[in-house]
Amino acid sequence: MLVGHIAVGLAAKRITPHVSLGTTVLAALLPDLLWCVFLLTGIEHVELKAGLGAVNYLGVSDIAYSHSLLMDAAWGALLAGAYFLTRHYARGAWVLFAAVLSHWLLDFVAHGPDMALAPGVDRHFGLGLWNSVAATVVVEGVMWLLAIIVYVRATRPKGRTGVYAFWIVIVLLTVAWHGNIAGPPPASVRAMAASSLIFFSCVVAWAYWMNRLRPACYNSV
Ligand SMILES: [Zn+2]
């Protein structure tokens, strides 16, 4: 899943306006960022096959350090703990923990059976939403649309940059998402991991920038 995770980051900003959008998006994408690093360092492995869409071209995988339920809870606890130690804001820390954990849940819905409960546990799960481009467009697309509406209503752009830089990237992300679910495979696992790492890092940087350009226009309940 791609924009579904970013949707969680956008929606989390509505729940915790004091937490930067960059941090909520970082939390929602953290397992994918770790996945890129672990692939590049040889800790995790995937195989590429012929076929269109990530569900078809991503073959046998061992991604339990970035994408198992136990490890995502641990990464979430680490991020939330670091946030709480520096900001002393418990509500924000809990939302960040939930955002990291939501990654497992959403990938469990989207992926084929490659989602583990913990490293070393051989049973894998996944509902395979990705198998249908149409179903993915509907389910993930509705999440994406709702999150954009929630975020736009919860923030006010300071100037034109806060409008254009937001909407241009939203369009680019939507195009990238379609390439992810229906496009051709990347040239190699290494190229995929490196380009994805740059892509996810840019999305997080953009979210920190948006947080400055589009402040929250209400206080949390
Ligand atoms: Zn993922």
pLDDT digits (tens, 9 = 90+) for 71-85: 999 999 999 999 999
User: What mean pLDDT comes out for the span 40-53?
Assistant: 92
Ligand 1 centre to CA of 219 (Å) is 31
Q: Is the pLDDT of residue 220 over 70?
A: no
- Burial (CB count <10 Å: 0-12, 13-18, 19+), residue 83: buried
pLDDT confidence band for 22 (50 / 70 / 90):
very high
pLDDT digits (tens, 9 = 90+) for 109-121: 998 888 999 999 9
* Short-list 174, 25, 189, CA closest to 96: 25
Q: How far, CA to CA in Å, does 148 sit from each of 20, 97, 136, 139?
A: 16, 21, 17, 14
Asked if residue 83 lies in contact with residue 93, where contact means CB atoms within 8 angstroms, the answer is yes
Ligand 1 centre to CA of 31 (Å) is 6
Q: Is the pLDDT of residue 218 over 80?
A: no
* Dihedral sign, Cα of residue 153, residue 155, residue 158, residue 160: negative
* Short-list 67, 170, 161, CA closest to 112: 67
What CA–CA distance (Å, rounded) separates 96 from 13? 10
Joined tokens for residue 180: 């992810």
Q: What angle do CA 120, 105, 43 make, to 5 degrees?
A: 35
pLDDT mean across residues, the chain: 94
Ligand 1 centre to CA of 209 (Å) is 23
pLDDT, position 38: 97
pLDDT, position 59: 83
Asked if residue 48 lies in contact with residue 190, where contact means CB atoms within 8 angstroms, the answer is no
Ligand 1 centre to CA of 67 (Å) is 7
What CA–CA distance (Å, rounded) separates 158 from 167? 14
Asked if residue 131 lies in contact with residue 113, where contact means CB atoms within 8 angstroms, the answer is no
Ligand 1 centre to CA of 160 (Å) is 33
Ligand 1 centre to CA of 197 (Å) is 12
Indicate the length of the chain as a whole number: 221
User: What mean pLDDT comes out for the span 183-200?
Assistant: 95
Ligand 1 centre to CA of 112 (Å) is 12
Ligand 1 centre to CA of 15 (Å) is 23
Ligand 1 centre to CA of 107 (Å) is 6
Ligand 1 centre to CA of 17 (Å) is 25
pLDDT, position 221: 47
pLDDT, position 58: 85
Ligand 1 centre to CA of 49 (Å) is 18
